[in-house]
Structure 1
Amino acid sequence: MISAGDFKNGITLEVDGKVVQIVEFQHVKPGKGAAFVRTKLKDVINGGFIERTFRPTEKFPQARIERVDMQYLYTDGDLYNFMNVENYDQIALNKETIGDSLKFVKENEMVKVCSYNGNVFAIDPPLFVELAITETEPGFKGDTAQGATKPATVETGAQVNVPLFLNEGDVIKIDTRTGEYLSRV
């Protein structure tokens, strides 16, 4: 049990039957009245945000989120197949569970499968991936305006804005959280 007075960013709790993660918190001591804790919570199952206040003495059970390293194998229609590399167990997840978290992940790459009480609710891709550009317009000599970009399609089919000097076949590093180009490899 964690009391509201001991909240820290990133802690996962069960509040009103929902599994939430603390994004922000602030201890408030008004001039009049009792102190309270103002929080911004993220529902880890559906991704929504909730703002709530708690008394510092309120207690909540800590939620146990299990994160397992698994290899993304292949897609079969609307099912995405993953394998635990330690015991070779395989699971298939539907498109609603996956969302667009595999937008920058190639087959046979490692991801983290997040579950709560045995129910998978999210896939965490690696923070950075290296992908080849499969389609982009050629850059023209003289197009050197500062920060100019052009759209490019990478080998997973995702669109990324890249600098003008990059061409098809170039391998680039991408931040999967923002979908931004970082550097050429």
Structure 2
Amino acid sequence: MAKPNDLSRGSFIRYNGELLTITEIEHRTPGNLRAFYQAKMKNVKSGKSAEARFRADEDIDMVRVEVKELQYLYKDGDSLVCMDTETFDQIYIPTILFGDAIDFVKEEMNMLISFDGETPIQGELPSHVEMEVTYTEPGIKGDTATKTLKPATVDNGPTITVPLFVEIGDRIKIDTRTRAYVERVK
């Protein structure tokens, strides 16, 4: 058992029989009342958010999670087939673990997968990926005074907004967490 001061962002706990990950935790000491910890959490299976207050001396069931780096091979239905780079075992990872970032998965990409025993519970892609622009409208010459953006389709199919100077065939860096354009890659 752990105490609330052992918790940090990204920790996994078992609370009310559910596996949750901590998204925010804050220590509060209001006026003349006792100190407590306010935690915002996310259910690993359903994705629902929850909040809870923990007393400073309360016991919390922390879950030890193993994180492995796996290499993406191919998609099979609603799962990604990934290979453990150490044992060369193939593991099926549900696509729902990645959320909207699943659009940026490319073959042979390395990703971090968290396991509770043998069950995958969370997937994390690299924070940035490089992709090629397959379609975008041409920019208007001389329209550089404003920070105007235009839609562009990248090689895996998702559409993001990019600056006017980006053309078809350019390689760009994209933030997988926010789906935002970062820079043009030379």
**Equivalent residue, structure 1, for 2:44:** 44
**Equivalent residue, structure 2, for 1:90:** 90
Report the CA distance between 1:51 and its aligned residue. 1.2
Secondary structure class of the residue paired with 1:102: helix
Secondary structure class of the residue paired with 2:121: strand
**Equivalent residue, structure 1, for 2:178:** 178
Q: Distance in 2 between matches of 1:18 and 1:172?
A: 40
Q: Distance in 1 between matches of 2:21 and 2:111?
A: 20
> Residues 43 and 50 of structure 1 are in contact (CA less than 8 Å); yes or no, is this contact kept in structure 2?
yes
Report the CA distance between 1:45 and its aligned residue. 3.0
Task: Spell out the pairing of 1:31-180 with structure 2 (5 A cutoff).
Answer: 31-180=31-180
Range with bigger deviation, 118-127 or 96-105: 96-105
Q: Distance in 2 between matches of 1:74 and 1:6?
A: 38
Gaps of 5+ in 1: none
Q: Distance in 2 between matches of 1:28 and 1:39?
A: 11
Q: Distance in 1 between matches of 2:87 and 2:182?
A: 35
Range with bigger deviation, 148-157 or 23-32: 23-32
The TM-score, its normalising length taken from structure 1, stands at 0.89
Report the CA distance between 1:142 and its aligned residue. 2.3
RMSD: 2.0
> Residues 79 and 93 of structure 1 are in contact (CA less than 8 Å); yes or no, is this contact kept in structure 2?
yes
> Residues 101 and 123 of structure 1 are in contact (CA less than 8 Å); yes or no, is this contact kept in structure 2?
no
**Equivalent residue, structure 2, for 1:9:** 9
Secondary structure class of the residue paired with 1:181: strand
Range with bigger deviation, 94-103 or 69-78: 94-103
> Residues 39 and 52 of structure 2 are in contact (CA less than 8 Å); yes or no, is this contact kept in structure 1?
yes
- Percent of pairs with identical residues: 40
> Residues 152 and 159 of structure 1 are in contact (CA less than 8 Å); yes or no, is this contact kept in structure 2?
yes
Cα deviation 1:111-165 (Å, max 9, x = unaligned) = 1122212111232111111111011111121222411011111111111100011
Letter in 2 for 1:50: A
Letter in 2 for 1:153: T
Secondary structure class of the residue paired with 1:147: coil
Gaps of 5+ in 2: none
